[in-house]
Amino acid sequence: MQGIGEAVSLAIQLVITGNADLFEIVALSLRVSLSATFFACLIGLPLGALVAISRFPGRGAVLVLMNALMGLPPVVVGLLVYLHLSRSGPLGFLGLLYTPSAMIIAQTILIAPIVAALSRQVLEDLHGEYAEQFRSLCLTRGQTVSALLWDARYSLLTVSLAGFGRAVAEVGAVIIVGGNIDHLTRVMTTAIALETSKGDLALALALGLVLLVIALGVNAAVQSLRMSARRHAYV
Amino acid sequence: MSSIDTAALLRPQALPEARYANLLPLRVRGLELSCGGTPILTGLNLDLSPHGCTAIMGPNGAGKSLLLKVLHGLLTPTAGEVCWGSQPPAAVTARQALVFQKPVLLRRSVAANIDFVLKARGKPRQARDALLDRVGLLHKARAPARRLSGGEAQRLALARALATDPEVLFLDEATASLDPSSVQVIETIVQDACARGIRVICVTHDSGQARRIADDVVFLHGGRVAEHSPADRFFSAPQSPAARAYLDGRLVL
């Protein structure tokens, strides 16, 4: 096992020299987590908007459920997706287990509730401001939802970022449904877990560094977008 | 004391024919509205002719804004009957427009605020520039709507209301807290709308404004119409004690 100083030095070297294995893992991580974020937003944003503008019996229970689902344990999601995608499962015929697609499905299930619950809160606040004007304009439900989603776009970017952060950092679900197969389903978090257990701290640290840089970069980009929007009074 | 000169109000006036005769006149009978168990409007009766501009006046808490929202179909009365022609308010909301005291503008550009309404109503986008020009905001078409001054924001709200091509235009203290020049611009646009046959019903505390733009005044007090008279008569010889006290600047309870 390497010392921390040696491991850090090796990690920086791996990043600087553009180690192929390292960048393959990073690229797959981004592909899986960005795809999952995209699909989660596709499901979660309209769902959050619909709940935000609707009043129906049992709405309180739905809100409790939505908020509770934000804390879904990744291993439980991984296990449920595994059971459905395994050979004997109802979706086994699709042959998706141990593929990046299975990982995208698991992460989508994991973060869609986060996107839905957070966007519901954002959009409900905005709807409180717009509701009377929209009723006066006799907008349809679809027009109301699309107007709210557009006007809250900068706040919803932060929501989707929270979903992406959760997806790119989780390990439990992707390791169960992806299997951490080298050159196929190995992503940053599963590789970090594996390399740490093998004692190869350099690669684990290098991946950790990249993960941190990605997290910081995405946050900085969204923050700068929000600041620019605020300057132009669009937030 | 109630002094409603309905006959005088329904007399033909020197105004153009209303474009939308089927929506008017307005008939309100026994209107009651409670908020949180507190009665606000109690047995209110009102008739409005198809023409001109009506100012709704009265002390704070008289229920003026709530009445406007009931007439527009945004609030359901506790009891009573409201008929636009032969239709209930909720059935004709889309044919009316309401400008709120505090304009609610979308987080978009000035032009996009108008485009949004035009698109929602299936109207051509070409109408946008003419509307912005009418309210003096064409040069600010690309500016963020939320960066507008109070007067500009209210003019945009008015342009957006007019973009719906309303048959009835409601104004809920639309010029409150605006400077005199902004008030004048908005009044001119409202008078122009009125001249084009749009029925205007506005809530205002500004007696000067009511004198300038209103053909008749509805004075609310105690949840009812205390007085409904032609504007000149209302200001020269108010019939109800509450209206007299209000115009004299005395506290009306």
Q: How far is B118 from chain A (nearest CA, A)?
A: 11
Dihedral sign, CA of A185, A189, A191, A197?
Answer: negative
Q: Which of A125-134, B1-10, B198-207 shows the lowest mean pLDDT across its residues? A: B1-10
Residue type at position A71: G
Q: Write phi, then psi, for B202 (nearest 5 degrees).
A: -125, 145
Shortest Cα distance, chain B CAs vs residue A150, angstroms:
9
Can you state the angle between helices A201-231 and A4-17, rounded to 10 degrees?
60
C-beta atoms surrounding A10 within 10 Å: 17
User: Using a CB-CB distance cutoff of 8 angstroms, which residues of chain A are in contact with residue B94?
Assistant: 138
Does any CB of chain A come closer than 8 Å to the CB of residue B97?
Answer: yes
Indicate the pLDDT class of residue B190, thresholds 50, 70 and 90. Answer: very high
- Asked casually if ipTM beats, i.e. exceeds, 0.95, the reply is no
Taking CA–CA distances from B115, the nearest residue in chain A reads A147
With contacts defined as CB-CB under 8 Å, which chain B residues touch A136?
72, 74, 93, 96-98
Residues of chain B contacting A233 with CB distance shorter than 8 Å: 107, 144-147
Write the pLDDT tens digit of every residue in B143-186. 999 999 999 999 999 999 999 999 999 999 999 878 888 899 89
Structure tokens at A208: 């950790």
User: Which residue among A132, A135, A234 places its CB closest to the CB of B107?
Assistant: A234
Partner residue opposite A133 with nearest CB, options B93, B96, B104: B104
pLDDT at residue B92 greater than cutoff 70: yes
pLDDT tens by residue, A42-56:
999 999 999 999 999
Among partner residues A133, A138, A234, which is closest to B144 by beta-carbon distance? A234
The verdict on B122 touching A (C-beta cutoff 8 Å) is: no
Query: Which of the residues B107, B118, B148 would you substitute to probe the A interface, choosing the one with the greatest number of A C-beta atoms within 10 Å?
Result: B107
pTM for this entry: 0.83
What pLDDT sits at residue B13? 38
A-chain residue closest to B106, CA distance: A151
Share above pLDDT 90 across residues of chain A, in percent, rounded to a whole number: 72
Q: Provide the residue range defining the domain that includes A49.
A: 4-231
Please tell me if residue A233 touches chain B, with a CB cutoff of 8 Å.
yes
Q: What domains does chain B contain, in order, with CATH numbers?
A: 3-247 (3.40.50.300)
> What is the share, in percent, of chain B residues with pLDDT greater than 70?
90
Of all residues in chain B, the one with the smallest CA distance to A140 is: B120
pLDDT in tens, A52-108: 999 999 999 999 999 999 999 999 999 999 999 999 999 999 999 999 999 999 999
- CB-based contact A135 B108, cutoff 8 Å: no
Q: What sign for the dihedral angle of Cα A106, A112, A114, A117?
A: negative
- Is B117 in CB contact (< 8 Å) with chain A? yes
Chain B segment 149-208 residues within 8 A of A by beta carbon are 164
d(CA B161, CA B149): 18
Q: Which residues of B touch A145 (CB under 8 A)?
A: none
User: HSE (CB half, 13 Å, CA atoms) of A41?
Assistant: 18
Contact A139 B120 (CB under 8 A): yes
At B102 the three-state DSSP class reads coil
**B108 interface with A at CB cutoff 8 Å:** yes
Cross-sheet strand order for the sheet of B3-4:
B3-4, B224-230, B216-221, B53-57, B199-203, B168-172, B96-99
**Which residue in B111, B181, B224, B104 sits closest to A129, CA to CA?**
B104
CB–CB contact A138 B94 (8 Å): yes
B98 touches chain A (CB under 8 A): yes
Indicate the pairing of strand B96-99 with strand B216-221. Answer: unpaired
Separation in Å, CA A188 to CA A96, A114, A171, B38:
20, 22, 9, 62
* B38 DSSP β-pair partners: B35
Indicate which CATH number applies to the domain containing A134.
Answer: 1.10.3720.10
- The number of C-beta contacts closer than 8 angstroms across A and B is 43
If one counts the domains in chain A, the total is 1
